[in-house]
């Protein structure tokens, strides 16, 4: 059955892949990558142009590095025409890239097939099984061993009985003296009892488990609360074998772009000359929150405005109309200082091609407020200022890099004035300001702190008027520096520093990197569920850190944020050592903290030492540092440090490194891992984790096709884990406990009977009862419980994430719980056998006839067994549905119907050899004493369970017990929910300046190589629609906090 189901899963995967691969599509907008990457051809080869004859004669030889998985590095040398030319990453186009801003490209294939970096980063598909599957296999072996032990005991008993007692019976069965060997009899009895007691080995368990998992998968597929209506995308369980493992997740590994964020930047607020724009004020001038009732600024007067931008502060437009020179200069700077490329589509609309969404947001904001960037050439930039076309002469472009964290343009306006416009990280730019900006600097700095406190990405804006003579001298030195070969970069950087000084501060911008709806709430709830979230992204460190703060994974309340950025093994080792010293040195003496971590000697689970760290810590590590750590002996120390931290952010990592991090935690921490992503670069990580989740986002369906579960939004992850995962684990554990108990109670009655039947391998029950017990009488009730049961409802599962903890600790079903179920089953079998046996020993019925015959005894025990296990499953059921009632009570009714049918005269007349128990049921079950015995047996079996559970709930209630009791009390009258007061998170300022930028784009612009000589070919006029999502704080307010507070006043809840 399992093989058939797995084959069915594989077939549907193949069918889905085949459907996607053969789908006909018309590409209107390519959403693979929103950030442009700069690539240059060698000057000696770019001269070949599009001349096919010259290209055909090209005979250069490339000597390069061996195939590897490093996406950000390439080293090679082209030998051609008796000269050698170095090749780096900027000269290489990787497989899977899409050309932008160029019509064609001729290339030389360096790596092909499995040697390409894309394929080098692809992971292998692995066969996934849950921890419960592995435990079940172990327990089945245990049970088989237990069966063998029972067979040996009964075989030894048979040999002893035959030797001491059996000789006295041989005269009645006409056996000759010496024909029966007691040892051989014991050998035969061993195999007979192996056959009789084989029902203790739960073969049907596997079939039932697959049916339950199939039901859980359909619940995920049918969940309307995980249906994304904007794209008509439901959640999908693409496998049916991993559902209960969703309730045991310890670590979540998440991609950033497209998973946590929409990768959409929106201009939200700004500070110009000490005044904040973007806030909304009431009639009394008090600041208020933006609501749906507030009218945004009307941009309809500007036919070239981007209709998707919403700005709610009318004062900025009023300042522009009044001609405020500082406001005009601020917007002029945004329209001039950037690397954006413009073009017109077929509908005549202005379209921007941006290197990073940050810049796109700023240029679009300037465009909507009347300062429209129109076009550029290598020497000029043309903008439209409030309806007037103005062309600026581009004199110099001071490009961005990771050290400078700023960019500048030097332009000459139509009046002949030379101006330097600069934007960059405030921490860097403020050091370059003229002393006269002190008061404005203080005010703007406060505004930046306020912006950052709201999770916005900040940027400082400044300018400088330049003297014509001074600029000419500086420009001559810059040309000389560019012409040199020795220390060229250092000399150019020095000249940039010289001219970017004595700047005049204009203000600051605040851009929102739009998170997916519900991300903050999801991260918060998963953290409360003790699930650690690691972000694995290919973005730069600053970008990843900003998103960490925006998602509340990083907070200013954290004790420390460790940054590992070493370029060598020694540097990484030292940074890890210092981080551990910092953490342990400050916290060795504390005993109660927020972060509990496991310290493992040699990273083995058999030597876990629990330690406590006071405070929350975070770890940020760069890709090159991670590569050094993973390839050396540092990885164990790094893993230990990372697992002590509340949040881990790995930036600039390759797809293969993502998979390696997942494997490291999975193999050395014995923890259940989940990886979630939306792009092809996440496929390896998704395949490596215990559970892979794909998001059907902007980057295609590669992640979805490789995943085990898929949906459209990151926020659905909390429902998948806290509701479906927890329920699946809870139901599966209950099912297994009951199934093992039922089998032991049913089978071990034969064992006790063996001591009273001369160990003759005589069965207690009728053969038909043995056949039908697991198939008919008890199969449906346990399936109903395994599919439908729930301890608390879905809303409370979300409101109390701490309910998730039992699954992480594997508390509901483990070897200890199995032994308890086994002991429970043994006790029930004792009650089932010895209470009827003792009651009917030398007893006569109401009619004076002897009723202690074998057939009556079998009927009484069978009837008691069916009723006892039905009562037990009724006690185990927490959530009653019509199906549960029908299956449980219907199974009892079915038992009696079949019992009286098989014991009837009619069926005996038809099949006398198959149904020998004629009339026994009618004779036995019509006597009151029989029913009293059945009642006594049922009470004796169930009362210890009822008493134990009552005392446990009364004296040591779990959180689930308390919430369930509160839930029942709330069914009659629910208190009104009060909204949570909105609070603003205080935060230190973090710069978010265009961190997706790459160095070299400015040089490309000034070279003119990316300028199109002719008008671009017509493109579709389809524009991206940005839907208005509810703010995270509103979503957070929708959830009640009074539930926890009022509940905790009545009951003591350990959270």
Residue the block writes with tokens 């605040």: 510
HSE-up of residue 73 (Cα within 13 Å, Cβ side): 12
Whether 536 contacts 658, CB under 8 Å = yes
What sign for the dihedral angle of Cα 89, 91, 95, 98?
A: positive
* Strand residue runs (E) in 279-404: 280-281, 287-288, 341-344, 350-353, 371-376, 380-385, 388-398
d(CA 679, CA 581): 38
d(CA 181, CA 65): 79
Q: Which residues pair with 27 in a beta bridge?
A: none
* Cα→Cα distances 415→337, 390, 411, 419, 474, Å: 19, 11, 11, 11, 21
Maximum C-alpha span of the chain:
133
One-character DSSP codes across 2-33 = HHHHHHHHHHHHHHHHHHHHT-----SS--S-
d(CA 492, CA 580): 39
Dig out the tokens for 483 from the structure. 């012409």
- Per annotation, catalytic residue among 9, 115, 133, 255: 255
d(CA 262, CA 517): 9
d(CA 807, CA 813): 9
Task: Please state whether 113 falls in left (phi above 0), alpha (psi between -120 and 50) or beta.
Answer: left
Whether 994 contacts 390, CB under 8 Å = no
Task: Judge residue 976's burial from the number of C-beta atoms within 10 Å of its C-beta, 0-12 exposed, 13-18 middle, 19 or more buried.
Answer: exposed
Instruction: Tell which residue, 930, 912, 911, 932, has the closest CA to residue 921.
Output: 930
Whether 862 contacts 769, CB under 8 Å = yes
Count CB atoms within 10 A of the CB of residue 346.
11
Residue the block writes with tokens 């004199």: 395
Residue 638 main-chain phi, psi, to 5 deg: -65, -40
* Cα→Cα distances 777→17, 417, 438, 768, 897, Å: 42, 94, 85, 12, 11
d(CA 594, CA 597): 10
Q: Which residues pair with 76 in a beta bridge?
A: 64, 87
Cβ neighbours of residue 273 under 8 Å, at least 6 residues apart?
A: 324, 326, 327, 330, 440, 506, 507
Let me know if 10 is a catalytic residue.
Answer: no
d(CA 473, CA 132): 75
Q: Helix, strand, coil shares of the chain as percentages rounded to 5?
A: 50, 15, 35
Whether 598 contacts 645, CB under 8 Å = no
d(CA 932, CA 991): 80
Each residue of 142-175: b (16+ CB within 10 Å) or e?
A: ebeebbeebbebbbebbbebbeeebeeeeeeeee
Residue 216 main-chain phi, psi, to 5 deg: -60, -40
Catalytic positions? 255
């Amino acid at each position: 059955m399992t093989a058939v189901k797995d084959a069915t899963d594989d077939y549907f995967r193949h069918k889905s892949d085949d459907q996607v691969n053969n789908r006909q599509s018309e590409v209107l907008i390519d959403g693979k990558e929103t950030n442009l990457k700069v690539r240059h051809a060698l000057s000696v080869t770019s001269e070949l142009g599009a001349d096919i004859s010259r290209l055909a004669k090209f005979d250069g030889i490339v000597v390069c590095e061996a195939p590897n998985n490093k996406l950000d590095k390439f080293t090679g040398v082209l030998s051609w025409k008796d000269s050698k030319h170095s090749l780096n990453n900027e000269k290489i186009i990787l497989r899977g890239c899409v050309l932008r801003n160029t019509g064609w490209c001729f290339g030389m294939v360096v790596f092909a097939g499995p040697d390409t970096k894309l394929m080098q980063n692809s992971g292998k598909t692995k066969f996934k099984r849950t921890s419960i599957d592995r435990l079940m296999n172990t327990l089945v072996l245990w049970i088989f061993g237990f069966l063998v032990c029972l067979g040996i005991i009964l075989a030894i008993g048979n040999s002893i009985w035959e030797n001491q007692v059996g000789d006295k019976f041989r005269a009645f069965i006409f056996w000759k003296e010496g024909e029966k060997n007691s040892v051989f009899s014991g050998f035969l009895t061993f195999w007979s009892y192996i056959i009789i007691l084989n029902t203790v080995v739960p073969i049907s368990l596997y079939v039932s488990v697959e049916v339950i998992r199939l039901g859980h998968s359909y619940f995920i597929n049918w969940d309307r609360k995980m249906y994304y209506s904007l794209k008509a995308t439901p959640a999908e369980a693409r496998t049916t074998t991993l559902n209960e493992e969703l309730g045991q997740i310890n670590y979540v590994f998440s991609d950033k772009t497209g998973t946590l964020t929409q990768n959409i930047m929106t201009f939200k607020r700004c500070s110009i000359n000490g005044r904040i724009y973007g806030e909304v004020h009431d009639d009394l001038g008090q600041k208020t929150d933006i609501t749906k009732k507030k009218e945004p600024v009307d941009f309809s007067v500007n036919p070239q405005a981007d209709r998707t931008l919403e700005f709610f502060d009318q004062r900025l437009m009023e300042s522009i109309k009044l001609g405020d020179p500082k406001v005009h200069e601020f917007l002029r700077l945004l329209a001039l200082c950037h690397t954006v490329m413009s073009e017109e589509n077929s509908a005549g609309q202005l379209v921007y091609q941006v290197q990073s969404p940050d810049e796109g947001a700023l240029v679009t904001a300037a465009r909507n407020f009347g300062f429209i960037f129109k076009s550029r050439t290598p020497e000029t930039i043309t903008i439209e200022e409030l309806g007037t076309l103005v062309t600026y002469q581009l004199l110099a472009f001071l490009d961005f890099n990771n050290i400078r964290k700023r960019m500048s343009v030097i332009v000459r306006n139509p009046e002949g004035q030379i101006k330097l416009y600069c934007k960059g990280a405030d921490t860097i730019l403020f050091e370059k300001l003229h002393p006269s900006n002190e008061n404005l600097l203080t005010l703007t700095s406060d505004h930046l702190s306020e912006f950052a406190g709201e999770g916005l990405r900040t940027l400082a804006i400044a300018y400088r008027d330049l003297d014509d003579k001074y600029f000419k001298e500086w420009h001559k030195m810059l040309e000389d520096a560019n012409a040199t070969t020795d220390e060229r970069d250092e000399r150019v950087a020095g000249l940039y520093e010289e001219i970017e000084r004595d700047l005049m501060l204009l203000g600051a911008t605040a851009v929102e990197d739009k998170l997916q709806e519900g991300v903050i709430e999801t991260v918060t709830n998963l953290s409360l569920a003790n699930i650690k979230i690691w972000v694995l992204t290919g973005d730069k460190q600053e970008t990843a850190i900003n998103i960490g703060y925006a998602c509340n994974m990083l907070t200013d309340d954290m004790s420390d944020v460790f940054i590992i950025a070493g370029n060598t093994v020694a540097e990484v080792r030292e940074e890890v050592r210092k981080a551990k010293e910092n953490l342990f040195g400050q916290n060795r003496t504390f005993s109660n903290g927020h972060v509990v971590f496991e310290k493992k000697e040699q990273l083995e689970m058999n030597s876990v030492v629990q330690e406590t760290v006071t405070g929350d810590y975070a770890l940020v590590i760069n890709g090159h540092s991670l590569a050094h750590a993973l390839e050396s002996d540092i990885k164990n120390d790094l893993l230990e440090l990372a697992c002590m931290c509340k949040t881990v952010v790995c930036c600039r990592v390759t797809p293969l490194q993502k998979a390696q991090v997942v494997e490291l935690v999975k193999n050395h921490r014995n923890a259940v891992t989940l990886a979630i992503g939306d792009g092809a670069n996440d496929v390896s990580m998704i395949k490596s984790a215990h559970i892979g989740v794909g998001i059907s986002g902007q980057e295609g369906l590669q992640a979805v096709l490789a995943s085990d579960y898929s949906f459209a939004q990151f926020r659905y992850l909390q429902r998948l884990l806290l509701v479906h995962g927890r329920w699946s684990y809870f139901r599966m554990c209950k099912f297994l406990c009951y199934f093992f108990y039922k089998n032991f109670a049913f089978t071990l009655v034969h064992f006790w009977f063996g001591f009273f039947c001369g160990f003759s391998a005589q069965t207690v029950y009728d053969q038909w009862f043995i056949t039908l017990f697991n198939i008919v009488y008890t199969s449906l009730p346990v399936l109903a419980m395994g599919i439908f049961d729930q301890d608390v409802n879905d809303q409370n599962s979300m409101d109390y994430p701490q309910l998730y903890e039992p699954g992480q600790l594997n508390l509901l079903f483990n070897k200890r719980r199995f032994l308890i179920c086994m002991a429970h089953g043994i006790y029930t079998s004792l009650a089932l056998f010895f209470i009827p046996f003792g009651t009917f020993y030398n007893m006569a019925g109401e009619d004076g006839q002897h009723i202690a015959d074998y057939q009556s005894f079998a009927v009484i025990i069978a009837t008691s067994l069916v009723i006892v296990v039905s009562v037990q499953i009724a006690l185990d059921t927490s959530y009653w549905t019509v199906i549960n009632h029908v299956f449980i009570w219907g199974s009892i009714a079915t038992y009696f119907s079949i019992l009286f049918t098989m014991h009837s005269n009619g069926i005996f007349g038809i099949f006398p050899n198959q149904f020998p128990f004629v009339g026994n049921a009618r004779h036995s079950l019509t006597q009151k004493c029989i029913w009293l015995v059945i009642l006594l047996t049922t009470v004796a079996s169930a009362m210890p369970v009822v008493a134990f559970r009552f005392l446990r709930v009364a004296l040591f209630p779990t959180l689930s017990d308390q919430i369930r009791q509160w839930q029942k009390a709330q069914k009659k009258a629910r208190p009104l929910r009060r909204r949570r007061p909105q609070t603003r998170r205080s935060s230190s300022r973090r710069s978010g300046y265009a961190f997706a930028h790459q160095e070299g784009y400015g040089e490309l612009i000034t070279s003119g190589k990316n300028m199109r000589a002719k008008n671009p070919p017509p493109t579709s006029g389809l524009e991206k629609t940005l839907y208005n999502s509810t703010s995270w704080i509103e979503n957070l307010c929708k959830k009640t906090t009074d539930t926890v507070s009022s509940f905790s006043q009545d009951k003591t809840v350990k959270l």
